[in-house]
Amino acid sequence: MSTNYSSSLKYGRDHIAFEVIYTKRKTMEIAVHPDAIVIVKAPTGTAVNKIAARLAKRARWIRKQLNYFQQFIPCTPPRQYAGGESHLYLGRQYRLKIRKAKKSDVKLKGAYFEISTPDHKSRETVKGLIDQWYKEHALRIFTQRLEICFEKAKGLKVPLPNIQLRKMSKRWGSCGTAGYILLNTELIKAPLYCIDYVIMHELCHLKDHTHSHKYYRLLAKFMPDWQRRKERLESAAV
């Protein structure tokens, strides 16, 4: 079998998902990404059972790496969607100001998120309006930042990827083998320089799917201060 595929490995009570990528190489490589993705790069033609055996042998190490990265997942505190509550946008806090109106609308004015809706007492309605606002602005901002980061990383010589959005609880972003970047809509709450870090991180993964020393040298080439940005993002409760 020489077609890339996804599967899972049973380890104790857990099922560890992984993705296999066949390449022209002599040895097999297993990499655990901070976004909880396990990538296996195998020589073209490597049998599925041989890959499974190698994964089983390395299962304890894989689980250990996943547990380590677990501490850095986005940590969103519970929201009540009530007037006066603080919500983030691009690293700044804004308070909710909710009022009854004939039409639903969300506007950012001064230090406030102004929410207008006929159903102003419904927290679910307010939540839905805010989530939709975040999604619309995330697509616009992420697209702009991707263009900026892509220009800085021309040396990667990879095609400009498409952006896909998804609200996720365990990762800020990931990249697909089909050449797209998946970004967490929650990332729109972080500062721009943190958003740029996640995008550049994924752009570099389009060139190198591992987290080897070679990968980090590549990341440092295009974003020398990536560690500072990463630490800021990991400390953000968005």
Helix (H, G, I), strand (E, B) or coil at 88: strand
Which of 5-14, 109-118, 151-160 has the lowest average pLDDT?
A: 5-14
- 180 with 164: CB under 8 angstroms? yes
Phi and psi at 175, nearest 5°, equal -125, 145
Three-state DSSP string of 1-38: CCCCEEEEEEECCEEEEEEEEEECCCCCEEEECCCCCE
Which of 36-45, 60-69, 154-163, 215-224 has the lowest average pLDDT?
A: 60-69
Helix (H) or strand (E) holding 65: helix 59-70
- Category of 179 on φ-ψ map: left (φ > 0), alpha (ψ -120 to 50) or beta: left
pTM beyond 0.85: no
Spacing of C-alpha 182 from chain mean position: 6
pLDDT higher than 80, residue 1: no
Segment 170-228, tens digit of pLDDT = 789 888 767 789 999 999 999 999 999 999 999 999 998 888 889 999 999 999 999 99
> What integer best gives the mean pLDDT of the chain?
89
What is the DSSP code (8-state) at residue 103? S
- β-pairing, 162-166 with 173-175? unpaired
pLDDT higher than 70, residue 2: no
Segment 71-99, tens digit of pLDDT = 656 655 678 999 999 999 999 999 999 99
- 90 with 188: CB under 8 angstroms? yes
DSSP letters spanning 187-219: GGGS-HHHHHHHHHHHHHHHH--S-SHHHHHHH
- Residue 59: how many CA atoms within 13 Å on its side-chain side? 15
Q: Domains along the chain? A: 5-70 (no CATH), 86-136 (no CATH), 140-235 (3.30.2010.10)
- Tokens (6 digits) for 126: 């307010």
